[in-house]
Structure 1
Amino acid sequence: MSHYLLIVESPAKAKTINKYLGKDFQVLASYGHVRDLIPKEGAVDPAHGFAMKYEPIARSSKHLDAIAKALEKTDIVYLATDPDREGEAISWHLQQLLADKGLLKDKPVQRVVFHEITQRAVAEAIQHPRDISTDLVNAQQARRALDYLVGFNLSPLLWRKVRRGLSAGRVQSPALRLIVEREEEIERFEAREYWSVQAQLAMETHRFPARLIQFDGEKIEQFSITDQSSAERVRSRLLEAAQGALSVEQVLRKQKRRNPAAPFITSTLQQEAARKLGFTAKRTMQIAQQLYEGIDLGGEQVGLITYMRTDSVALAQDAVQEIRTFIGDRYGADQIPAQPRVYKTRAKNAQEAHEAIRPTSVERDPDTLRRALSPDQAKLYDLIWKRTVASQMVHATYDTVAITLKAGDAGQFRATGQTLVHPGFIAVYQEGRDEQSDEDENRELPALAEGQAVPLEDIQNEQHFTEPPPRFSEATLVKALEEFGIGRPSTYASIISTLQDREYVVLDRKRFVPTDVGRIVNRFLTQHFTQYVDYQFTARLEDQLDAISRGERDWVPVLEDFWAPFKHRVDETLENVSRADVTTEALEEACPKCSKPLAIRLGRRGRFIGCSGYPDCDYTRNLEDKGEEAPPERVEGRVCPECSSALEIKHGRYGKFIGCSSYPKCKHIEPLVKPLETGVTCPECKEGELLQRKSRYGKLFYSCSRYPTCKYAVWNPPLAEPCPQCGWPILTLKTTKRRGTEKVCPRKECGYAVSAEDTALANAD
């Protein structure tokens, strides 16, 4: 019979820990948060010391009932929620709820914390329990109160001034500002032309370039040569002076060391997973959570990595020793530095009690675990394992050379290269980059001596144009959020998801682009709530929350300092700013119909240019159009199949489509892009063909070409192969993380499924 009850957040974590503890323990899960602020105005009361009104979360009631039942046979309760502020707050809420129900009575409640789910870590935590930290709870309460006060005051304001359904948040709004300001910077950017001059040289088996660094005694800068005629003049002069060869003026050789990157913290894991694996921040954290909570390794539930929400790069001493021993055994003693590498945390308020993200045991290398993990889990674990091992290896060593060459008395060229002499940590792992460099870092140059002549093949001019700063990717946005102190690593994934869910930004070629609504919301906030979307203000507020968690500040005065000026600004904006002020942007252009001023306005489909005299004047045009309203774009060579009127390309909520010019009398529409043919006959009507189409949400599906007469459709790619089990005329290709790609019967009642790889091998045999 259990005498001890240990409560964690997740059932997966409970399953793993339950195998580590004896029969006297019962491990149950709270399934996350158990109570939250009441979802209406008044949940936080500034007039009474920011008193917060909580209520149990409905979905947690059955889990609380199970905990209550277990308490009847329990002597001691251990609260083992996650080792961060949010986890501390969940433990506090659990204690409060159970105490209010009178279930704790004289039962002691103790808080235990571990950063990895291993038998050793769990046992050690239970041997060293503590009380719930009031400071950490107050910091989380202050964060929750701030987010509530901002959301419940700014969001209704946006509904009135812009559009219903919008929201603003304490950290999401500065993040949106980052994306919008980058887009505006790109739009303002004016490209500048410049030319580079490069010599192509050949020496024995080596062909290598050298760039011009000096011409006629003047140093060559980026904009020294700005047009083709100047570039040709420089080239002719250099060719004439060189006489077919450049002379080596100076050879500089030196050795360069490169040290490994620190082990992962939350933000760097999200960045690197985006760069190398193409994972979103949200996906990365979901997979990391699975690895942390435990994976079934042949009947044993094992937590594979340490806690994944951390901003500390520190590693436990026993972990460092294990890694160094492993490196010596696997890669050789010469790959271990004389002293363990110690990394300093860059974040100002890192929780140093935490560790970096690392494998719970470096002996579990990725290759041995691959069969037990899903493809995504294997990829992320491989990344974490390699980064951790590399962080304790010796530096990489390069031989670098810089050669200065002369073209007579006309100019100087520079050729650079480097050779990897000793790979060190690079043999295991190399950090990715956000933007690729044009420089060839691993170019090998021939052995040259001063005064030596190097044959010149040609001198080439190349035209360039300066480029605007790139849009943010997930990796670079996370990096910017971290640098500006916007939010904390554990919140980055939710910040990005919220911006996308609210349709403030969209992903285009894996880069964030603000929508029209996102631009207007940002303009409204930056004009009327400048202080609250200021990057420094947001960072200072995070610093204050950190100070509360350390016990250096009281949480109520922090809220008081924020609330009074913020509420005043909300009331002032509500009274003095009209919806037209927010959604309309005046233009210095007259309406071609009535001569009244034109303005950029916000409609259901985004921003457009319209007459300020509306509704008396209905003139409108697309924002991109610069002059008169363009005539409708006709579809050449076709007419409406229903009424024989001309077909036009129209714009709708989900993009462009083909529609009848006689609308609304005739409502014929069809997709602009012709569906892709699959060559598979519809199994239901046996007359049409299954075509690949795209749903309004962008998901691919396959449906009959005779739609709407025949409405047969499947989600997975069809195959013109009958089901060997039930005889249905087609199979489909279905891919899942666990089972890979299979040929399956689309009829659920059949259930036929076989590995596509196995059938391919059988056919090959």
Structure 2
Amino acid sequence: MSKSLVIVESPAKAKTIKKYLGKDFEVLASYGHVRDLIPKEGAVDPKHGFAMKYQVIEKNNRHVNAIAKALKKANFLFLATDPDREGEAISWHLLELLKEQGALEDKPVKRVVFHEITRQAVSEAIAHPRDISVDLVNAQQARRALDYLVGFNLSPLLWKKIRRGLSAGRVQSPALRLICEREKEIEEFKKREYWTLEADSEADQVAFVAKLTHLEGKKLEQFSIENKDQAQSLVEQLTRAAENKLHVLKVERKQRRRNPASPFITSTLQQEASRKLGYTTKRTMTIAQQLYEGIEIGTESVGLITYMRTDSVNLAHEAMDELRNFIVERFGKTNLPAEPRVFKTRAKNAQEAHEAVRPTSVYRIPEGLESYLKPEQFKLYQLIWNRTVACQMIHATINTVAVDLDVQRPVIKGVISKGSGNLFRATGATIVDPGFMAVYQEGQDEVKEEEQRTLPLMKEGDIVKLLQIRPEQHFTEPPPRYTEASLVRILEEFGIGRPSTYAAIISTLQQRNYAVLENKRFQPTDVGRVVNRFLTEHFNPYVDYDFTARLEDNLDAISRAEKDWIPILEEFWEPFFMRVQEKEQSVSREEAIQVRELGIDSKSGRPISVRMGRYGPYVQIGSKDDEEKPRFAGLRLGQKMDTITSEEAIALFELPRDLGVTAEGKLISVNIGRFGPYVKYDNKYLSIRGEDPYTITLARALDLIEEKNQADASRVIKVFPESNIQILNGRYGPYITDGERNVRVPKDQAPKDLSLEQVQTLISEAPIRKQSRRKAETLGDKVLVKKQAHRVSTQKKAKG
């Protein structure tokens, strides 16, 4: 009988740990979460203490059964899932399932935690087990309950008011709000022109550039020189006054220190990997997981980095000692500070028991591991290794110099008393001692660092040669769109989400088509903006940044046993549910989809509007109350609901293009309708979403028509010409339809062998589809309205 059974999440982790623990241990993987809330209403019951109904995750059921079977041969169970709330919850859920199955048989169960997968860390964890933390489990359950309550109440409301398939998340919605608000800032931005004057100069045959900072004794502001004429006039005035030379008025030299950045936490790792390697947050976390769980190096699997989901910048004493020894050996004692560097965690409620992301051993030098790693693994490991080493090295020493140059020679009597007041300034910097910068420099977002120039040696009173004064035109720029790195940074600053959620937030926004990455920067889609406006207008407290951050703080407090989870859920649920109920009744669909009026069509005199539809945004001319049916046209690729003009909208209706004819001589044309672009042929319509209707060729249209004909042919199993009944291949198997009723073909019958009488019997027993019933009712209402209108008109004529 095996002495102990150890459970981890992944098979890679299991493989590594098995090698460390040896033959007295069996190590199995749960393959992540083993159970979750039932995916339907009632999974969380607020009326009964927020009771949560769980079910086994189907794909992992066989792994749970394998664990239960292996437990029969073991006398001890160790739960060794990841050292965070999610890991704690996985262990708790697995334990609950094993209890339900009666698989424990009073065998002892303990929780073990390690932040790195090394032989020493794993052995120490097994030697010092603990019980499952109820507080961590409650914090995770509270988070899961909150996410469920928001999703299962707001998402159906979005389906009713906007369109099906939409979702609202407790944390993703504030992230979407950030992206949408930044886009609005960009659209409302008014660029402004300004000019600067630069002097190309030379001293001791070394060229340098100086910038005009003072004019007639006054410091220049950004918009002091507003146009070309003003700039050119000043160029001429200063050039005449200077007479091809500038006078050194003041030389200011300083020495400054630059300290290294802290070791990586989850968010900074994601940001730097995005800046320097171009990795998405999801890709970064996937590669980091591989490095953490173990890489085959020779005959052994080795965990190369510590746990990658952390918000702590702490380093273990052993790691710190090893780093300091390595720095002395590799870079010399002069590059080692007198005392170890201790960094302060910026993140709210950081789990200080965790460590920063670091190599499990600094002596595993990246270059020595390159042959064992995939290129993307090597790059990320090298990034982590470099940052960790640099954080314990001495500061960089930088000499800076600023030289003020006057257009006219100042009068000097012991001190500088007077000059022209027209000053140019040249700046430069030289690195005296690179210190940590020899290993690593932190990247920056949205910062345009000035070129680090080395200036020629100058002293007060020197005269330098002026080659020319140049006017430079500039325009103010709107705030930049968020990159993955800058979005993670702002989420962290607001306290929205936690280390384990950043990648999921970003992936969800893209999967839901709420935002897209264009040139590595986030742009909200039309549907993303519609959802955001609906939520901010009607559920503002719940997408408020401070509210979301406070809720995260409460979850952290639960994990520290400072608060109980049930009162926090109660405080959230009651006002939230009441607001959902109230908005369901009070907000119309027209209001929810935020119809934007563009003006009046000059030809028809009917209103032009743009709105969100089932298949995307579209322009509408007219209204549903008009006697004449409204006209519809989908937006072109790149057009936005918030920015399209009435002229651009009207142009959409002028599209119809005749492409040619089919082999049978039937005309083929292309247009854009309410549901997007389409091809019309032989009185049939074929959606061509994804194609550009303005450039699609006849050849491409014919290919699409042929594909459609082949798909239709394979879909039809049998047709009954004497009726409108068909047997078709559907998503869930063959079925019978007459256009209003659908019914599955019985499993014990072959679809092709069914007779007309059999299919008529089956159809007669099937209910009319809801959509068809509504359509019939609507048509009936319209007929009734027309009859009433005709009756009124006849009566008026009779009276007349």
CA offsets per residue over residues 453-508 of structure 1, 9 Å max, x none? 11001111111111101111111111111111111121010111111111111111
Q: 1:533 — aligned with what? A: 543
> Structure 1 CA distance, aligned partners of 2:685 and 2:632?
23
User: Match of 2:739?
Assistant: none
Q: Provide the TM-score with structure 1 as the length reference.
A: 0.84
Tell me, yes or no, if structure 1 residue 469 matches structure 2 residue 479. Answer: yes
Which stretch has the larger CA shift, 638-647 or 204-213? 638-647
Alignment partner of 2:562: what SS? coil
- SS at the partner of 1:241? helix
SS at match of 2:21: coil
2:463 maps to 453
Once the 2 structures are TM-superposed, how far is the Cα of residue 609 of structure 1 from its aligned partner? 3.4
Provide the secondary structure at the position in 2 that maps to 1:345: coil
Give the match's secondary structure for 1:488: coil
How many angstroms does 1:228 deviate by? 1.0
Alpha-carbon offset, residue 593 of structure 1: 4.8
User: Map of 1:143-182 to 2, 5 A cutoff?
Assistant: 143-182=143-182
Matches within 5 A, 1:123-272: 123-272=123-272
Deviates more, 1:147-156 or 1:584-593: 584-593
Structure 1 residue 73, shift from structure 2 partner: 2.2
Within the alignment, does 1:363 sit opposite 2:374 as a pair?
Answer: no
134 and 439 in structure 1: CA distance in 2 versus 1, 3 angstrom threshold: same
Equivalent in the alignment of 1:24 = 24
Matches within 5 A, 1:103-502: 103-408=103-408, 409=420, 411-440=422-451, 442-502=452-512
- Say if 1:241 and 1:410, in contact at 8 Å, map to a contact too: no
Match of 1:618 in 2: 630
Q: Secondary structure at the match of 1:261?
A: coil
Residue pair 2:139, 2:559 contacting (<8 A) in 1 also: yes
Aligned AA (1:133): S
What is the deviation of 1:584? 3.3
Counterpart-to-counterpart distance in 2, 1:254 and 1:482: 35
Q: Secondary structure at the residue paired with 2:392? A: coil
After the TM superposition, which of the residue ranges 158-167 and 597-606 deviates more from structure 2?
Answer: 597-606
Tell me which residue corresponds to 2:532: 522
- Deviation of residue 611 (structure 1)? 3.5
Match of 2:650 in 1: 629
Q: What is the 5 A alignment of 1:597-608?
A: 597-608=607-618
Q: Is the 8 A contact 1:597 1:611 kept in 2?
A: yes
Take 1:275 and 1:610, find their aligned partners in 2: how far apart are those partners?
43
Q: Tell me the secondary structure at the aligned position of residue 20 of structure 1.
A: helix
Partner of 1:503: 513
Counterpart AA for 2:524: P
Q: Contact between 1:238 and 1:410, CA under 8 Å: does it hold in 2?
A: no
TM-score, scaled relative to structure 2: 0.81
Residue of structure 2 equivalent to 1:584 = 594
SS at match of 1:343: coil
Q: In the superposition, relative to structure 1, how do residues 645 and 473 fare at CA in structure 2: closer, same or farther (>3 Å)?
A: farther
1:142: how far off? Answer: 0.4
Corresponding residue pairs, total: 679
User: SS of the residue aligned with 1:247?
Assistant: strand
CA contact (8 A) 1:593 1:619 kept: no
SS of the residue corresponding to residue 479 of structure 2 reads coil
Deviations 1:217-239 (A, max 9, x none): 22101011111111112111111
> Does the CA-based 8 Å contact 1:634-1:647 persist in structure 2?
no
Partners of 1:122 and 1:654 in 2: how far apart?
Answer: 58
Shift of 1:270: 0.5
Cα deviation, 1:320-375, whole Å, max 9, x if unaligned, reads 11111111111111111111111100012000000000000111111111111111
Assess if the C-alpha contact under 8 Å between 2:608 and 2:646 holds in 1.
Answer: no
In the TM superposition, residue 629 of structure 1 has moved relative to its aligned partner by: 1.9
CA distance in 1, matches of 2:675, 2:278: 26
* Letter aligned with residue 43 of structure 1: A
CA contact (8 A) 1:237 1:410 kept: no
CA distance in 2, matches of 1:653, 1:279: 38
- CA distance in 2 between partners of 1:611 and 1:538 (Å): 41
Closer, same or farther: CA 22–666 of 1 in aligned 2, 3 Å: closer
Amino acid across the alignment from 2:610: I
| Matched residue, 2:713 | none
Paired residue for 2:59? 59
Q: Out of 564-573 and 482-491, give the one that drifted further.
A: 482-491
Query: How many Å separate the matches in 2 of 1:634 and 1:160?
Result: 33
Which SS does the other structure have where 1:180 is aligned?
A: helix
SS at match of 1:257: strand
Counterpart position of 2:768: none
The offset of 1:648, in angstroms, is 7.7
Give the superposition deviation at 1:585.
2.5
- Give the Cα–Cα distance (whole angstroms) in 1 for the partners of residues 214 and 162 of structure 2: 57
Percent identity between matched residues is: 60
- Gap change, CA 1:283 and 1:653, over 3 Å in 2: farther
The partner residue of 1:555 within 565, 568, 573 is: 565
Secondary structure (helix, strand or coil) at the match of 2:617 reads: strand
Change (3 A) 1:572 1:322: same
Whether contact under 8 Å (1:632, 1:648) holds in the other structure is no
Which stretches in structure 2 are left out of the alignment for 5+ residues?
Answer: 409-419, 636-640, 711-800
With over 3 angstroms needed to count, the CA separation of the structure-2 counterparts of 1:58 and 1:337, relative to structure 1, is same
Matches within 5 A, 1:547-696: 547-587=557-597, 589-611=599-621, 613-614=623-624, 616=626, 617-620=629-632, 622=635, 624-627=644-647, 629-630=650-651, 632=654
CA separation in 2, counterparts of 1:650 and 1:224? 52
CA offset at residue 65 of structure 1?
A: 1.6
Give 2:448's aligned amino acid.
S
Match of 1:730 in 2: none
The separation in 1 between residues aligned to 2:543 and 2:597, in whole angstroms, is: 26
Pairing 1:720-739 to 2, within 5 Å after superposition: none
1:512 maps to: 522
The Cα shift of 1:598 comes to: 3.5
What is the alpha-carbon root mean square deviation over aligned residues?
Answer: 2.8
* Distance across 1 between alignment mates of 2:671 and 2:440: 51
Task: State the Cα deviation string for residues 495-542 of structure 1 (Å, max 9, x = none).
Answer: 111111111111111111111110100010000000000000000000
Per-residue CA deviation, residues 554-573 of structure 1 (Å, 9 max, x unaligned), is: 00000000000000000001
Contact 2:666 2:682 (8 Å CA) reproduced: no
Partner of 1:498, secondary structure, is helix
Q: List gaps (5 residues or longer) in structure 1.
A: 676-692, 694-703, 712-765
- Separation in 1 of the partners of 2:498 and 2:622? 44
Task: Give the match for residue 724 of structure 1.
Answer: none
1:14-48 superposed Cα distances (whole Å, 9 cap, x missing partner): 10000011321111111111111111111111111
Partner SS for 2:20: coil
8 Å CA contact 1:5–1:77 kept in 2: the answer is yes
- Determine if contact 1:634/1:646 at 8 Å carries over to the other structure: no
Q: 1:60 to 1:207 in 2, by over 3 A?
A: same
